[in-house]
Amino acid sequence: MQIEWIIVLTSLIAAASAGWRLQTVDDLLRNRNKCIKILNMQDDLQEEYGLFDFPDQDSAKCVIKCIMNRMGLFNDKRGPHVGRLVRQMKFASVSSTKEIRGEILNCAYQDMEMDPEDVCERAYALYQCIQNSNLLLMKSPGSINT
């Protein structure tokens, strides 16, 4: 009976993660533009936000939340998806997986201390924490030579 449960659990975990893939700068740009439209923001704001430059404003915080939701890196109820964030940051980082996981976990712990209802603020704080740790490097395929 225990083996059956392990097989079912393993299958569920595999199915849940099978639909996600590493995200590129192109994915970021596409999702950013889509989120600005979804949130009915003014067209001039789309130009105001740089690739990784989002001001400390409520509207920008909700754009970050939307982008991270669409990219599968943040869930409004569960918060940061640590495993995916680690894989994403490892995609373009020279840091070890252990170092990356430690930084991501530090950021995730900060998220747990915030008001669970303020999802835009939580997503923005996570984004800022990751950005300040210098792990936020996204690339298009082939843009970084190793």
Q: What is the C-alpha separation between 88 and 70, in angstroms, rounded?
A: 14
- The pLDDT, as a whole number, for residue 29 is 87
CATH number of domain containing 54:
1.10.238.20
- Is the model more confident about 70 or about 9? 70
Buried b / exposed e over 49-75, threshold 16 CB at 10 Å, is: beeeebeeeebbbbbbbbbbbbbbbbe
Mean pLDDT of the chain: 78
What are phi and psi for residue 134, nearest 5 degrees?
65, 25
Written as six digits, the tokens of 16 are 């849940």
Please report whether residue 47 resides in a domain: yes
> Does 16 have pLDDT greater than 60?
no
Report how far residue 44's alpha carbon sits from residue 40's, in angstroms, rounded to the nearest whole number. 12
Nearest to 23 by CA among 145, 144, 140: 140
Q: Residue 38: which domain range?
A: 25-132
Looking at residues 112-121, what average pLDDT do you find? 88
Q: Could you give the CA distance from residue 43 to residue 127 in angstroms, rounded to a whole number?
A: 23
Name the residue type at position 92: A
Helices 25-38 and 58-70, packing angle to 10 deg: 130
Residue 143's pLDDT is what?
43
Confirm whether 68 is domain-assigned. Answer: yes
Compute the average pLDDT of residues 58-80.
92
User: Once rounded to an integer, what is the mean pLDDT over residues 91-119?
Assistant: 86
Question: Of 26, 32, 34, which Cα lies nearest the Cα of 48?
Answer: 32
- Number of domains into which the chain is organized: 1
Model-level pTM? 0.74
In a domain, 144, yes or no: no
Q: Give the confidence band of 27 by pLDDT, cuts at 50, 70, 90.
A: very high
Question: Backbone phi, then psi, for 96, in 5-degree steps?
Answer: -75, 160
The answer to whether residue 123 is domain-embedded is yes
Structure tokens at 102: 């430690």
State the amino acid at position 45 in one-letter form. L
| pLDDT > 50? residue 138 | no
